[in-house]
Amino acid sequence: MTAVFDDDVKACAALVQKADPDRFLATMASPVEARAVLFPIYALNAEIARAPWVTQEAMIAEMRLQWWRDALQEIAEGQQVRRHEVVTPLSRVLSPHLAGLLDEYVAVRRWDIYRDPFEDTEHFENYIDQSAGTLMVVAAQSLGAADEGVLRDFGYAVGVANWFRAIPELEARGRIPLLDGTEDGVRALADTALRRLKSARSRRSEVSRAARPALYAGWQAEWVLRKVLANPARVARGDLAQGEIGRRLSLMWTASTGRW
């Protein structure tokens, strides 16, 4: 696919910078040619993430998500793609297959609209896999060759780490983000995510150099998961932010070595 750093991509970058500062920093640590691919994908992520929260009306939130599903269907089916500052650059960087995967990603985010808890462990794991995991697959494979299983393991770990950081706000908004919110339950989830992170890293060779910048977005995952494993109470306190110096240095190390 063709990546062009035009005004639309600049608008996507501005959106990501405002809504998702961590992914913005990770993308800026990537080669320029990768940024033109990643910013539209992460802008889509920002738009989907905020869709359930900009209205109290579930039907309106559903309509917002359906708008994005329709746009992705246009890309997947090779139709005339609607003009939009995010959709237009997306249509240049997504293959039909990856556009189809993003439809799955948008569909699973319907959970965010409602206050129902996860039904069971399978429901929760599918949510993390089809949101964070699918986003990782699409971002990486839009850049270059990468094994989907490796990406989903890494995406799961990143997704759980980000989920832990989001829990205080989710609870404040009336959501029930965990099946087992006890310290033992939180610790077990962190342990599972760390094991999947370790599994992904044991197969680093299956992610091409070209695809690696997509994995920079997970540069804080191990730090977060280890803090949770050591002290699960940090989740409820919202005490999972790295110091600014350590945060930037760890990103610099990840980007300079490529060892996500």
Mean pLDDT by 10 residues, the chain (260 residues): 82 98 97 96 97 91 96 96 97 97 95 95 97 98 98 98 97 95 98 98 98 98 98 97 94 95
DSSP type of residue 83: P
Give residue 1's pLDDT: 54
* Alpha carbon of residue 158 to chain centroid: 8
Ranges of H-type helices in the chain: 7-19, 21-28, 32-50, 58-76, 87-93, 96-108, 121-128, 134-143, 148-172, 183-201, 221-230, 233-237, 244-257
Tokens describing residue 137 = 């697959």
- Rounding to the nearest 10 degrees, give the CA dihedral for residues 189, 192, 198, 202: -150
Predicted model pTM: 0.96
Residue the block writes with tokens 């890494």: 154
Task: Quote the tokens at residue 60.
Answer: 């309106």
3 state SS of 48: helix
Domains of the chain, residue spans: 1-114, 116-260
d(CA 73, CA 203): 33
In the block, tokens 């399978």 appear at 122
Per-residue model confidence (pLDDT) at position 4: 76
DSSP label of 240: -
> What pLDDT does 5 receive?
85
Question: Please, are residues 142 and 93 in contact by the beta-carbon 8 Å criterion?
Answer: yes
- What span, in angstroms and rounded, lies between the C-alpha atoms of 169 and 165? 9
